[in-house]
């Protein structure tokens, strides 16, 4: 990961601190979740993939910890053995683990790829490059296993264009009234991707709502399930209008167990983090969209997500569960202290 003798003389930037802190916290959570999955796994092919993901998360945590110790940076608490109950009964099916990994790894790849151009210290940049490369290998392995087991649901197919063409009229942008064109390939891709992620998110929320210990967290999970279901239906309607299929639900892959395998803190943080990633994926969909109705749809979905994440953060703060990321100096407070 670079020449440590040279790197140690170069201070971490705010971007490096922030991305390392977020990556460390997320992967301590991943270790807890995946260690529980490994206790309830029958399919050996799927077990191999989950073990790969667990070992990668452990390696990421250790590499970041090494950088933090070198910099005398306080090691975040993140999530520990106290946040997982390995003796809890099975909550999800083996197949669900593959969909879960695909769902969470897409989020991780987004974080790592955005981090790389912002990293100026060679050892940190190399760390994120290596982490992204390893994560890409893992998602490829997951897709291979899904394909081999006949579990892969592929995005819809559309005809190959007969020729190169150009947009001639402004009605190409219509969406609410008048002559509305069919969705183009990029719109379909992002609608499908968001539905696929939301389908897994809904399954996770169903499981979490069954096992949450406190009423506030349980209600938060149930509300998240309703929001996610509404988003699945909204995006699916856009595909179905063009006679295109959408991914099936995974609700039946959740068991009836009510014994919590995870702490309320972990489950709450998990959903806040994944809903926060939706802000990025919905914005990506909106940015590559050319129809006003789809743009308006994403704006409404983003509003739902923003309110939900804020309410979840308030529950975290009320319970003293939210660790504070590194922040800039408050010069006004500093000045007050000198008076």
- Identify whether the C-beta of residue 299 lies closer than 8 Å to the C-beta of residue 286: yes
- 312 and 219 part of one domain: yes
pLDDT tens figures, 76-107: 999 999 999 999 999 999 999 999 999 999 99
DSSP string, 283-306: HHHHHT---HHHHHHHHHHHHHHH
Does residue 157 sit within a domain?
no
- 118 and 213 part of one domain: no
CATH of the domain at 185: 1.20.1260.10
Instruction: Give the DSSP H or E segment for 111.
Output: helix 94-115
- Identify whether the C-beta of residue 171 lies closer than 8 Å to the C-beta of residue 179: yes
pLDDT (0 to 100) of residue 334: 74
Three-class SS of 121-167: CHHHHHHHHHHHHHHHHHHHHHHHHHHHCCCCCCCCCCCCCCCCCCC
pLDDT (0 to 100) of residue 175: 59
By residue range, what is the domain housing residue 292? 180-318
Calpha distance 228→195 (Å, rounded): 9
pLDDT (0 to 100) of residue 169: 72
pLDDT (0 to 100) of residue 177: 57
pLDDT (0 to 100) of residue 4: 53
- 313 and 184 part of one domain: yes
pLDDT tens figures, 223-240: 999 999 999 999 999 999
pTM of the model: 0.92
- 185 and 313 part of one domain: yes
CB count within 10 Å of CB 299 equals 12
pLDDT (0 to 100) of residue 127: 98
Given a cut of 70, the residues of the chain with pLDDT beneath it are 1-9, 170-178, 338-339
Does residue 112 sit within a domain?
yes
- What is the number of domains present in the chain? 2
- 141 and 207 part of one domain: no
- 247 and 120 part of one domain: no
């Amino acid at each position: 990961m670079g020449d440590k003798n040279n790197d140690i003389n170069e201070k971490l930037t705010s971007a490096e601190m922030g991305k390392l802190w977020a990556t460390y916290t997320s992967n301590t959570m991943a270790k807890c979740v995946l260690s529980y999955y490994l206790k309830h796994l029958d399919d050996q092919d799927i077990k191999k993939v989950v073990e790969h993901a667990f070992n990668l998360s452990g390696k990421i945590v250790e590499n970041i910890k090494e950088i933090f110790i070198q910099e005398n940076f306080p090691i975040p608490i993140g999530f520990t053995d106290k946040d997982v109950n390995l003796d809890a009964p099975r909550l999800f099916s083996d197949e669900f683990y593959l969909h879960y990994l695909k769902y969470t790894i897409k989020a991780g790849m987004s974080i790592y790829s955005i981090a790389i151009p912002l990293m100026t210290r060679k050892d940190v940049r190399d760390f994120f490059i290596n982490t992204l490369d390893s994560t890409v290998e893992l998602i490829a392995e997951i897709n291979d296993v899904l394909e081999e087991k006949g579990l892969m649901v592929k995005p819809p197919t559309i005809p190959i264009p007969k020729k190169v063409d150009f947009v001639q009229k402004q009605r190409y942008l219509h969406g609410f009234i008048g002559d509305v064109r069919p969705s183009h390939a990029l719109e379909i891709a992002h609608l499908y991707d968001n539905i696929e992620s939301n389908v897994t998110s809904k399954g996770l929320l169903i499981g979490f709502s069954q096992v949450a210990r406190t009423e506030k967290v349980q209600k938060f999970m149930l509300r998240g399930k309703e929001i996610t279901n509404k988003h699945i239906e909204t995006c699916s309607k856009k595909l179905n209008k063009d006679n295109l299929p959408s991914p099936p639900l995974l609700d039946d892959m959740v068991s009836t167990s009510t014994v919590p395998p995870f702490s309320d803190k972990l489950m709450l943080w998990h959903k806040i983090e994944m809903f926060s990633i939706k802000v990025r994926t919905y914005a990506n969909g909106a940015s590559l969209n050319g129809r006003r109705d789809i743009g308006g749809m994403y704006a409404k979905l983003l509003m739902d997500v923003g309110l939900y994440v804020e309410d979840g953060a308030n529950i975290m703060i009320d319970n003293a569960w939210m660790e504070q990321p590194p922040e800039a100096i408050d010069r006004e407070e500093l000045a007050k202290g000198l008076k």
